[in-house]
Amino acid sequence: MSTNLGPSDNPFDGVAEGFAEQGVTEFLLTVDDLETMLRAGIFDRDDATRVELEDGRLVRMSSESLPHARTAARLSLALNLALSQLGLTDRYEVLNGGTVRVSDISAFDPDGAVIARDAEGFFMRADQVFLVIESSLATLKRDLGSKSRAYAAAGIAEYWVIDVKHAQLHVFRRPFEGEWTERQTLSPDDSVSPLFAPDADIALKSVF
């Protein structure tokens, strides 16, 4: 539940007055600002006010459809099973959600991520993340475009985008100077192995 703040408790008290005084028409936020707002309860992460920060601008996240949620959950489950079978659960953790800090002015909430088991902090840092997963239905253009570029620039080792409508998995790997050096598009008949666990063979027919 969101917290009701009094005037003295609001971490952004006075911002509106600053706009008026300086003639500013746009106020860009940092990831630190977003963390402050979330800690203060300005946004309730469990309701329709869930947001991401992209280039300093708040982006409202759309509601999840059943196909979107189902494919993301199935892939996360397959990853968990593979890590368990390989005895790697003491090193890696599969998350369904969470926030990844990709720069000082951008933070995204992917549908899944694999992070170091000992990772700490309010948001996930790029150096703690081995794999980011987005399940895309209405957001495919953004996930393959601006988000993909941001993850590459942040140095995320691997990024998977589930194209729910066309039953495809887009795989991006090994970023160099802000660009992905490897790209693949896989079908339900294919399997995929993450870079951090090359012996994990995930059949995509279990996802679609």
CB-CB contact of 146 with 136 (8 Å): no
3-state SS assignment for residue 171: strand
pTM of the model as a whole: 0.86
3-state SS assignment for residue 174: strand
Quick one: pLDDT at residue 12? Answer: 56
Domains: count for the chain: 2
6 within domain boundaries: no
105 within domain boundaries: yes
Predicted confidence pLDDT, tens digits, the chain (208 residues): 334 444 445 555 555 555 556 565 678 999 999 999 888 888 765 555 578 999 999 998 877 889 999 999 999 999 999 999 999 999 999 999 899 999 999 999 999 999 999 999 999 999 999 999 999 988 999 999 999 999 999 999 999 999 999 999 999 999 999 999 999 999 999 999 999 999 999 999 999 9
Q: Which long-range contacts (CB under 8 A, 24 or more apart) does 11-17 make?
A: 11/36, 11/37, 11/40, 12/37
Closest alpha carbon to 28 in 52, 53, 56? 56
What is the spatial distance between Cα 99 and Cα 108, in angstroms, rounded to a whole number? 5
- For residues 124 and 91, membership in a common domain is answered with yes
- For residues 81 and 23, membership in a common domain is answered with no
5 within domain boundaries: no
Written as six digits, the tokens of 110 are 């992917």
What is the spatial distance between Cα 111 and Cα 77, in angstroms, rounded to a whole number? 12
100 within domain boundaries: yes
- For residues 111 and 182, membership in a common domain is answered with yes
Quick one: pLDDT at residue 41? Answer: 84
- For residues 91 and 159, membership in a common domain is answered with yes
Q: Which of 25, 60, 95 is a domain's end point?
A: 60
DSSP string for 41-99 = TSS-TTSTT-EEEETTEEEEPPPPPHHHHHHHHHHHHHHHHHHHHTT-TTTEEEESS--
What is the spatial distance between Cα 137 and Cα 143, in angstroms, rounded to a whole number? 10
What is the spatial distance between Cα 59 and Cα 99, in angstroms, rounded to a whole number? 14
